[in-house]
Structure 1
Amino acid sequence: MTHSIGIEMERDSRKIIKRLKDEGFELVSVSGSHHKFRKGTLTLIVPHPKKDLPIGTARSIAKDAGWL
């Protein structure tokens, strides 16, 4: 049996990055496919380009960004 909390999780790295930039995060470095964004003391790493991030990775980014 699968349980759903009713929230559609964004998993496209391009859309996640756009939202981060729209909310004031700055790209501070790129190491391979990992893009590092910072806003104040908060730092987030987003693997890019990736259309289907693993749900756990997408959830972690969303939680750290304050979206959940």
Structure 2
Amino acid sequence: MSRTPRVDARKVARVLEKHGYALVRQSGSHRMYKNADGIRVTLPIHSGRIIHPKILLKIAEDAGIPLDEF
């Protein structure tokens, strides 16, 4: 199995939007995205920091996006 990519929140947000997710709301440092099927994904936003690999795996799993897209 390959390593989980190291990406920041801006990159993850771009990938989510590319796959049809739209920003629904933001609460503090967390943005909630939703697609047309009603699937919701929460993305932690911390300026300049890398998303933890386990959180990225969960976001990719919930969104149904392969890891190589990130």
Alignment TM class, shorter chain as reference: 0.7 to 0.9
* 5+ residue gaps, structure 1: none
Normalization by structure 2: what TM-score? Answer: 0.79
Q: How many residues align?
A: 64
* Alignment RMSD: 1.5
SS at match of 2:60: helix
Which structure has the higher relative contact order (CA within 8 Å, separation 6+)?
2
Q: TM-score scaled to structure 1, two decimals?
A: 0.81
Structure with higher Rg: it is 1
Name stretches of at least 5 consecutive residues in structure 2 with no aligned partner: none
Distance 1:22 1:10, change over 3 A: farther
Give the percent of matched residue pairs that are identical in Structure 1 and Structure 2: 27
CA distance in 1, matches of 2:30, 2:6: 18
